[in-house]
Structure 1
Amino acid sequence: MQNADQSDDGPLYDRPSKSQVKRELLAILELGKQVVELPLEKVKQLDLDDNTFEAIRTAQKITGREGKRRQIHYVGKLLRTADTAAIAKKMDEWENGSREQTANMHRMETLRDRLIEEDDALTRLLNDYPEADAQALRTLIRGARRERDQNAALAAGHEPQRKHYRALFQAIKLLLTKE
């Protein structure tokens, strides 16, 4: 005969296992270690309460190994009530940059290289962005091509010129961010 609390179709436990809880707490402790290693200016940008912020500042000042370890554990304990997902996301953005920003940067770099290499790339760009200043873009492209040719002829040890190359990228960036 079964108890009224148990049923054949439901789980016996409705909470996480001890192992899962321990893994989560260790992950928070590791996050705490990473936060303590951040510069104070970046720590200020995180959404932390005053007690946690002061505990992090104290941990950054401690030089002794055991004292620092204990303070980091205290920071980890305080972070249990904080929004750790938001903190981890912010730290990931600082470390890796936003994937979207990186993809946009690569797209602009590819467009710049295409404009320098292909004559009809400017025509396609002007069809997509009729408000673009065609004359200014042509001037920047000619300058970038001239720089490319001069840089190819440079002797070893000389610094290549990139003034028009960078200016063309900035013009593309300004044009694509107006969307």
Structure 2
Amino acid sequence: MSDFFDDEPQDEEDIKSRTQIKREAEALQSLGKKLIGQKPEMLAKLSLSDELRAALKEAGRLRQNEAKRRHLQYIGKLMRAEDAEQIREHIERQEAGTRAYTQHFHQLENWRDLLLNDDKQIEPFVSAYPDADRQHLRQLVRNARKEAERNKPPAAARKLFKYIRDLDDNQ
């Protein structure tokens, strides 16, 4: 008879506070917002329901802020049935790859800037990139400096960067 009046749940771990439920819903909406910004090729790699795919496609068509907000809530609701962890991991891998590419791109830009500012940097560059043609490299650096002195558009600096990038790609 005491079981009849026992209002407390058997498992306290199953109980979620309203705040926790709201945080989880907002996290799914946030994940859905990241999905909206993804390219179709990336979305094709994910196992998403047809309903969620249609909702993501529809989100790009909406222009009014309130409509976008409501639609994002709808996407968050649809996300409850999806494997959120798999989606999150896929997006994180893609973002990590983008960050690594950006960092590598900045390193190449740094080489270009070092070469333009100091002739002594040619030796470390050639040791890092043994396929580099010193004479061609010096000529590109010289042309870029002349352009900078004359306040011309940086066409030679772009050629230098392209040469550096090509060397890096071939290495």
| TM-score when normalising by structure 2 | 0.70
Change (3 A) 1:76 1:163: same
Within a 5 Å distance, the mapping from 1:34-73 to structure 2 comes to 35-36=35-36, 38=37, 42-43=39-40, 45-46=42-43, 47=46, 48-61=48-61, 71-73=71-73
Taking the aligned partners of 2:40 and 2:56, their CA distance within structure 1 comes to 8
- Structure 1 residue 64, shift from structure 2 partner: 8.0
Q: Structure 1: give runs of 5+ residues left out of the alignment.
A: 1-11, 152-159
- 1:28–1:84 Cα contact (<8 Å) kept: no
Taking the aligned partners of 1:29 and 1:125, their CA distance within structure 2 comes to 47
Does residue 25 of structure 2 align to residue 25 of structure 1?
yes
Q: 2:153 aligns with which of 151, 161, 164?
A: 161
| TM-score when normalising by structure 1 | 0.67
- 1:35–1:43 Cα contact (<8 Å) kept: no
Taking the aligned partners of 2:100 and 2:118, their CA distance within structure 1 comes to 26
Change (3 A) 1:164 1:14: same
- 1:43–1:53 Cα contact (<8 Å) kept: no
Write the letter of the residue equivalent to 1:110: N
> How many equivalent pairs are there?
154
Taking the aligned partners of 1:165 and 1:72, their CA distance within structure 2 comes to 44
- 2:31–2:88 Cα contact (<8 Å) kept: no
- Structure 1 residue 90, shift from structure 2 partner: 7.0
Q: Structure 2: give runs of 5+ residues left out of the alignment.
A: 1-10
Does residue 142 of structure 2 align to residue 145 of structure 1?
no
1:171 aligns to what?
Answer: 163
What SS class does the counterpart of residue 131 from structure 1 fall into? Answer: coil
Q: Give percent identity, aligned residues only.
A: 33
Taking the aligned partners of 1:161 and 1:85, their CA distance within structure 2 comes to 43
- 2:35–2:56 Cα contact (<8 Å) kept: yes
